[in-house]
A and B are shown apart, each in its own frame.
Chain A
Amino acid sequence: MKLSINSIEPLVMHIDLNSCFATVCQQAYRNLRGKPLVIGAYETPKAIILAPSIEAKRFGIKTGMPVYEAYELCPSLIVRQPDTGLIRDVHVKFRAICECYSPDVAPKSIDEVVIDFTHTRHVEKRDLSDVGTEIKRRLREEVGDYLKCNVGIATNRFLAKVAASLHKPDGLDSINHKNLLDVYRSISLLDLPGINVRYQARLNTQGIFTPMDFYHASFMSLKRGVFQSIVGYHWYMRLRGWEVDGIEFKRRTVGQQYALGKKTNNPRELSRILMKLCEKMGRRLRRKGYVAYGIHVGCAQADGTYWHTGRKTHHAIYTTHELYREAQYILNKRPPEPIVTRLSVHCYDIEHPVGSQATFFDMEEKKRKVAGALDTINNRYGEYTITPALMMNMDKTVIDRIAFGQAGIESGD
């Protein structure tokens, strides 16, 4: 198999808000503008940095670094926690601007959006660089004057993301069949989205050290040698500008996880956290109208090990009580000694219910009606107005977070 570079007109636009969490904070607080700022999971020295500002990046501060290390690089560093309400609002307004240009808008994360103009090119006839410039201007005028974004235009999502990362911050680049190889010559393997140090090592073992080597690698060497799966075929296509990532997968799991501020192996404390995770997970599951047929609990432990177990259920589960009961059953099987650093719970095999099977006893039905009533009260008076007793005094535990990855935020959330 030998395939040439895709030479069609580039119609996929990737837009990436620069240093989103930090810049949004600087947008709201003018006194923090132009200063090295990081958004941490917490404001404590051991917390992990979620996003450094553009100014903090100049000191070498990176995402994933602990706050105390960042202080060593920049003693005047300002640390803040993410303002989730503010960030979600920026995302919703930013997405609304993008939706003015095409109905094919896919948020890839809280700060990334892909606009596909393939089916609307006859309506939007302008040069896409002009459209990108206009989106940048509208972002500043309609959302916030301090917000900047990178725009990348290419024939597929992968190259559009590469283009969006070429000139940060506030860049606008287009990759087409004419300049693709020049772009590959100017970047490293780790600059390619989806290539981390492990993939890089795997590519190195096959004699691939640069994006140009990667591009010149044959289809069979990628499929059989490097990736040993269909993934090799996907990379072969992707590197030549053909679309293989345009599929939106349906949701398969709903879950929550929590990195424990105070690490513990106390079963009661873990049960309380598990209950709150199940409550948050259950609220999301019910809001989306799903029921689940399986549940999975995982614990990252202080000794570096990861314990996890899943279990399928014979009946649909969806009330917080049902989810918690199943999750607690699994958690009880965990060896009690290791100290837990992160607790996660996911429900899987989710589907929209098609009517529940009648039972001899109507207790389950009653519980579901109670769950529905509790959700109605919490919707009306705010989250955690009514909670299970096990969650008492847990207001500050398992706080609201923005997940990495695909954003599923609706305007009304």
Chain B
Amino acid sequence: MRIRTNEPVKVLTVYDPEKGRTIPHRIKWQNEVHTIRTISYYHRERRGENVYHIYHVNDGAFDFRILCDSESLSWKLEEVVDGVGA
């Protein structure tokens, strides 16, 4: 299953002062709370002058691609993948 979307999503984050990084901890998607177990990849992308923080995270079942807009400090869910089927 692969769902491509562009919906605002509720994200609980934790700031880790040792790593100097903000880490998404939980996502609420389709009325279900997903606790993030691993951050598979993090990178930044510049679109114009605006910087987007893109996290690929996994809750043990699904891969989520979530994006934080550094200007509006809003979060969006871009993709959900469970790896089953094409």
| Contact, CB under 8 Å: A381 / B48 | yes
| Contact, CB under 8 Å: A31 / B48 | no
| Contact, CB under 8 Å: A77 / B86 | yes
Q: Which stretch from A78-86, A172-180, A291-299 is at the chain B interface?
A: A78-86
A198 to B37, CA, bound (A): 51
Interface size on A, residues (CB 8 A): 22
Q: Number of residue pairs across A and B with beta carbons under 8 Å?
A: 59
Provide the B75-86 mask, 1 if CB < 8 A to any CB of A, else 0: 000000111101
Chain A residues contacting B81 (CB-CB under 8 Å) are 29, 31-32
A29 to B43, CA, bound (A): 14
Q: Which stretch from B11-19, B22-30, B54-62 is at the chain A interface?
A: B54-62
**Residue A266 is within 8 A (CB to CB) of chain B in the complex:** no
| Contact, CB under 8 Å: A379 / B40 | no
A385 to B84, CA, bound (A): 37
**Residue A264 is within 8 A (CB to CB) of chain B in the complex:** no
Chain B residues contacting A385 (CB-CB under 8 Å) are 48
Residues of B in contact with A, size category = 20 to 34
| Contact, CB under 8 Å: B43 / A379 | no
| Contact, CB under 8 Å: A27 / B48 | no
Q: Which of these, B40, B54, B86, contacts A29 with CB under 8 Å?
A: B40
Chain B residues contacting A79 (CB-CB under 8 Å) are 86
A35 to B54, CA, bound (A): 24
Chain A residues contacting B43 (CB-CB under 8 Å) are 85-86, 89
| Interface of chain A residues 208 through 264 with chain B (CB within 8 A) | none
B37, closest chain A residue (CB): A30
Q: Which residue numbers of B lie inside 8 Å of A, CB to CB?
A: 38, 40-41, 43-50, 54, 56, 58, 62-63, 65, 81-84, 86
A378-B48, A380-B49, A382-B48 are known contacts. Are A32 and B41 too (CB-CB below 8 A)?
no
Instruction: Using A29-B56, A30-B38, A144-B41 as known contacts, list a sample of 15 further A-B pairs with CB atoms less than 8 Å apart, ordered by residue number in A.
Output: A28-B41, A29-B40, A29-B63, A30-B40, A30-B58, A30-B83, A32-B83, A77-B86, A85-B45, A89-B45, A379-B49, A381-B49, A382-B48, A382-B50, A383-B47
A71, closest chain B residue (CB): B86
| Contact, CB under 8 Å: A31 / B63 | yes
A385 to B83, CA, bound (A): 35
| Contact, CB under 8 Å: A35 / B49 | no
| Contact, CB under 8 Å: A380 / B63 | no
| Contact, CB under 8 Å: A86 / B86 | no
| Contact, CB under 8 Å: A35 / B50 | no
A382 to B46, CA, bound (A): 8
| Contact, CB under 8 Å: A31 / B58 | yes
A92, closest chain B residue (CB): B43
Q: Which of these, B45, B46, B48, B56, contacts A28 with CB under 8 Å?
A: B56
A77 to B65, CA, bound (A): 21
A34, closest chain B residue (CB): B83
- B78 CB to closest chain A CB (Å) equals 11
| Interface of chain A residues 21 through 45 with chain B (CB within 8 A) | 27-32, 35
Chain B residues contacting A86 (CB-CB under 8 Å) are 41, 43, 54
A29 to B84, CA, bound (A): 12
| Contact, CB under 8 Å: A30 / B63 | yes
Chain B residues contacting A35 (CB-CB under 8 Å) are 83
| Contact, CB under 8 Å: B83 / A380 | no
| Contact, CB under 8 Å: A78 / B82 | no
B48, closest chain A residue (CB): A382
Q: Which of these, A27, A30, A31, A382, contacts B47 with CB under 8 Å?
A: A382
- B85 CB to closest chain A CB (Å) equals 8
A29 to B71, CA, bound (A): 26
Chain A residues contacting B45 (CB-CB under 8 Å) are 85, 89
Chain B residues contacting A77 (CB-CB under 8 Å) are 86
Of B41, B84, B86, the most chain A CB neighbours within 10 A belong to: B41
- B58 CB to closest chain A CB (Å) equals 5
Chain A residues contacting B63 (CB-CB under 8 Å) are 28-32
A98 to B53, CA, bound (A): 24
B38, closest chain A residue (CB): A30
B52, closest chain A residue (CB): A85
Chain B residues contacting A27 (CB-CB under 8 Å) are 40-41, 56
B86, closest chain A residue (CB): A78
B62, closest chain A residue (CB): A31
A330 to B47, CA, bound (A): 33
A378-B48, A382-B50, A383-B47 are known contacts. Are A31 and B56 too (CB-CB below 8 A)?
no
* 23 A-B pairs with C-beta separation under 8 A: A27-B40, A27-B41, A28-B56, A29-B56, A29-B83, A30-B38, A30-B58, A31-B63, A31-B81, A32-B83, A78-B83, A78-B86, A85-B43, A85-B45, A85-B54, A86-B43, A86-B54, A379-B49, A380-B48, A380-B49, A381-B48, A382-B50, A385-B48
